[in-house]
Amino acid sequence: MYNILLVEDDRIQRVNLKKIICKAYDNLNFYEAEDKDEALYICQNHNIDIFFIDISLKNSSGIDLAIEVRKIREYELSWIVFLTTHVQYLVQAFKEIHCYDYILKPYDKETVISMVRKLIKHSNTDVHIKKERQYVIIELRSGVNIKLYIDEIIFIESKLRKNFIYTTKEVYESSKLSIKKLLEIIDSEDIIKSHKSFAVNINYIEKIEKIDSRLSEIYFQDYDKKALLGYKYRSTIVKKFKISYK
């Protein structure tokens, strides 16, 4: 999966650009942001391969964002493409940020498709090559260990001094580890606590529904079981859910 971040404060423009890029490749994962703060949060918590950044953003400029992106070690040489109607800013963009190229608005479909294909072709990562999946070894009980792929975990529930790990394949019961210890072993930014007795995988959340002032329910994609969301975890979960859902 190839990760692309679209930073554009005009939703219609974002949607149009995303549709065009999808004509070049199907196997792409998109993240979207409207401003600098949201974009920085995404690129600090996910591995972005290509940046498409509008030069004019809410409360800042795309150039300011790109300068901050370049300060992050893993993005010092990443592909950055600017989106603009303001050609006069491009000299600064090339000189200070060392961006790869720019796209003028309104977008020309063939130009965008050609650029995306070229960037992917000359990148170290090929969208057709499956990245190595991360896994952990979990001790369920004395003498019983399992290999658990992190991207298959939907949520974890702690009850009656046992932990139940709900995955896309089956449910595993562990009596050896606390939920805190499980999260330390899994060590994934996508699997976080939502309640004192629950931890959820942000990528599987379909809906969050409020029950009362202190409690909500979390629904998952194509899964009939639900998890709880406590008020002290709500803002973190909702923020991550909104970003992953875009």
Whether 218 shows a pLDDT value over 50: the answer reads yes
Mean pLDDT value across residues 139-158: 89
Name every residue whose Cβ is closer than 8 Å to that of residue 229 and which is 6 or more positions away in sequence. Answer: 194, 195, 198, 200, 208, 215, 216, 217, 218, 237
Judge if 2-121 and 135-245 fold alike in CATH terms.
no
Q: Are 211 and 203 in contact (CB under 8 A)?
A: no
pLDDT of residue 17: 92
Give me the pLDDT at residue 130, please.
38
Domain 135-245 sits in CATH at: 2.40.50.1020
pTM: 0.51
Rounded to the nearest 5°, which phi and psi values hold at 97?
-105, -20
In this predicted structure, which of 63-77, 107-121, 158-172 has the lowest mean pLDDT?
Answer: 107-121
Burial 56-86 (b: 16+ CB within 10 A, else e): bbeeebbbebbebbbeeeebeebbbbbbbee
Q: Confidence class of residue 224 from pLDDT cuts 50, 70 and 90?
A: very high
State the CB neighbour count (10 A cutoff) for residue 122: 9
Tell whether domain 2-121 is in CATH 3.40.50.2300: yes
Least confident interval from 89-93, 137-141, 187-191: 89-93
- What are 194's two structure tokens? 């939502």
pLDDT single digits (tens) 10-39: 999 999 999 898 877 767 889 999 999 999
- pLDDT band for position 128 (50/70/90)? very low
For all residues of the chain together, what is the average pLDDT?
A: 85
**Where are the domains positioned within the chain?**
2-121, 135-245
